[in-house]
Structure 1
């Protein structure tokens, strides 16, 4: 297991290098001149050139990339073009709200999704199954930005129960987490149902039922653990998507997180922020997949990595 873990960690370097090259090329293809945006609309050509030199944008692209990647390996992502503050400080301030929002959305969506999936699998083709899958299809089909505005209109504007913007208290997390986790709950419900249907057909499940065990014991003790491997895979992927893909929800609720920071950086052509955020999102996906692979061995002891 240790050799497998070390091998996967060493594999981070070439993966991040490829991502860094792609991101660096992508951001420099964006239309607009970041030096002109940083200098302001009233700046003249000489001022713009001075700003460009100060930002290092006057260097050839390959030299800019070498400097960016070598500094990134040391944890230095430069300074934001827009705010002149260190990129690491900008991201650190925005990481907390995004992380806790993602954790809350993931928590309720996994519990609800697995519950609906298990109920639908146990009562397959009956009314609980039809109701659960109808809710799941609705959650997948309804756009997140439309759901967010609908929730704000009902719970904030009409009822006045919950706030719409900010991240000061737990109430601020309710509507964004519901909006962000709706699609995840739907996916988890469908995935859990499919996995459980396959497990409930296995011989050891029929044997457990033949022994006279209660259906609850059969489902939880014998079915749940064996059905968890594909479900854990989906959980890991969905958590990565939520952590890095909450941009729409953060824009709708004006959430002070990394998604909103990325949108602002793209609008201002803030190259250091864009590059650092995309690298961070890529690293998160890689580490989450690694944790998922390690969970396989804990869930099913017969799995061994060589």
Structure 2
């Protein structure tokens, strides 16, 4: 297992290099002049050229990339063109609100999704199954931004129960986490249902039922552990998508997280922030996939990884 983890970690290097090249080329293809935006609309051309030289944007593209990659290898992503602060500081301040929002959305969506999926599988083609799958299809079909605005209109504007913007207390997390996790809960419900239906057809499940065990014991003890392996894969992927895909929700609720920071960086052509955030999102996906693979062995010790 240790050799497997080390090999996967070493595999980060070429993957991140490819991502770095693609991101660097992408941000430099964005329309607009970051030097002009940094200098201000009233600045003359001479001032803009001075700002461009100060930012290193006057150098050839390959020199800019070498400088970016060498600095990134040392965890130095430069300074934000917008705020003039270190990019690492900007991201550090925004990372925790996004992480806590993602964790809150993930916890409730996984719990509700798995419960709905298990209930739907056990009572397949009956009214609990139809109700659960109707909720799942609704969660997948409803756009996040529309759901967020509907929730704000009902619970904030009309009822006045919950705040609309900010991240000052636990009440601020309720509406954004529901909006962010609705799609994940729907996917988890459908995936868990499918996985459980396959497990319920296995011979050992029929044997357990033939022994006279209660259905609760059969489902929890004999089915849950085996059904969790594909579900854990989906959980890991969805967690990665939540971390990187909270942009829409953060914009709707004006959440002070990394998604909001990325939108502001794109608007201002803040190259260092864009590059650092995309690289961070890529690293998160790779590490989450590694954690998921390791969890396989925890859930099912019979699984072994080849060196």
Alignment match, 1:60: 60
CA distance in 2, matches of 1:44, 1:220: 71
Deviations 1:27-86 (A, max 9, x none): 000000000000000001110000000000011111100110110011100000000000
Please tell me whether residue 213 in structure 1 is matched to residue 213 in structure 2: yes
Matches within 5 A, 1:230-269: 230-269=230-269
Q: Which residue of 2 aligns with 1:229?
A: 229
Q: Offset at 1:137?
A: 0.1
Distance in structure 1 (CA, Å) of the matches to 2:73 and 2:49: 29
Q: TM-score, normalised by structure 1?
A: 1.00
**TM-score, normalised on structure 2?**
0.99
| Residue number in structure 2 paired with 1:177 | 177
CA deviation map 1:170-223 (0-9, x unaligned): 000000000000000000000000000000000000011111111000000000
Q: Distance in 1 between matches of 2:298 and 2:97?
A: 30
The 5-angstrom pairing of residues 23-38 of structure 1 reads 23-38=23-38
Instruction: Return the offset for 1:106.
Output: 0.2
Q: Secondary structure at the match of 1:32?
A: coil
1:283 pairs with 2:287: no
Correspondence list, 1:71-90, <5 A: 71-90=71-90
Aligned equivalents of 2:144, 2:207: Cα separation in 1: 44
Report the Cα distance in structure 1 between the residues aligned to 2:2 and 2:93, rounded to whole angstroms.
34
Matched, 1:108 2:108: yes
- Separation in structure 2 between the aligned mates of residue 182 and residue 138 of structure 1, nearest angstrom: 9
Tell me the matched-pair count: 306
| Residue 129 (str. 1) matches residue 129 (str. 2) | yes
The gaps in structure 1 that reach 5 residues or longer are none
Distance 1:118 1:176 in 2: 26
Classify the secondary structure of the residue corresponding to 1:28: helix
Question: How far apart are the structure 2 equivalents of 1:261 and 1:304?
Answer: 41
Compute the displacement of 1:230 (Å): 0.5
Structure 1 distance, partners of 2:68, 2:205, is 56
CA distance in 2, matches of 1:162, 1:239: 25
Q: How big is the shift at 1:269? A: 0.1
Q: What is the DSSP-based 3-state SS (H/G/I as helix, E as strand, rest coil) of the residue aligned with 2:260?
A: helix
The CA distance in 2 between the partners of 1:217 and 1:53, in whole Å, is 70
Measure the CA separation in 2 of the matches of 1:139 and 1:47: 51
Counterpart CA distance in 2 for 1:203 and 1:302 is 19
Moved over 2 A (4+): none
Q: Give the corresponding residue for 2:294.
A: 294
The separation in 2 between residues aligned to 1:221 and 1:243, in whole angstroms, is 32
Shift of 1:248: 0.3
CA distance in 1: counterparts of 2:73 and 2:208, whole angstroms = 54
d(CA) in 2 for partners of 1:175 and 1:2?
41
Provide, for residues 77-126 of structure 1, a one-character-per-residue CA deviation record: whole Å limited to 9, x for no partner: 00000000000000000001000000000000000000000000000000
Q: Which residue of 1 aligns with 2:145?
A: 145
